[in-house]
Amino acid sequence: MKKALKIILIVVVCIFSIALIGGGIAFIATGNAANAEEYKLGNDTVKSIKAVVEKRNVTSISTETSNGVKTKKIEYKSNSVQEDLVKYIQYLRNEGGFSLTKDVDLSLTSSTVQLGKASKDSGKLLLLTIDYNSFGYTITLQKGNGTLTTY
């Protein structure tokens, strides 16, 4: 009986330790993203929203490649969503080389903004999509084959 109890205790401690380490890594990763001056996707870099408006609370980060399309998503919480997006979209259009792919109405409390430009990689397109609501926004960078249709 004592041996079984020790084994169970060891297993529980191991599981707890792994969960604690994983949580620490996730905390560090989101902290690094919140402080990053730019987003990187392969050979392409884009100034981050933090570099334009200031640090915001990052709630999650994900990166994946599917069917040749590289995708990076960063979710933010903000108390000043519309103001952040006006400044960031102006920067992307005026200094970042991006063009709008459709009309934008930031007076809506929930919507999507998409901008695009040619990638540094020949024949590739870099899209930046911002899904937002009154509590925050998700910035999604994608790179893949395609052509750009601007508004």
pLDDT digits (tens, 9 = 90+) for 1-52: 577 677 776 766 657 556 556 554 544 444 455 568 899 988 999 999 999 9
Q: Is residue 139 over pLDDT 80? A: yes
Q: Looking at the DSSP assignment, which residues form a beta bridge with residue 57?
A: 77
Q: What would the two tokens of residue 20 be?
A: 């604690």
Find, among 128, 74, 75, the residue nearest to 101 by Cα.
128
What are the φ and ψ backbone dihedral angles of 93, each rounded to 5 degrees? -75, -45
**Average of per-residue pLDDT across 129-144:** 94
15, amino acid identity: I
pLDDT of residue 21: 61
- H/E stretch holding 11 reads helix 2-35
Global confidence as pTM? 0.74
**Average of per-residue pLDDT across 101-109:** 85
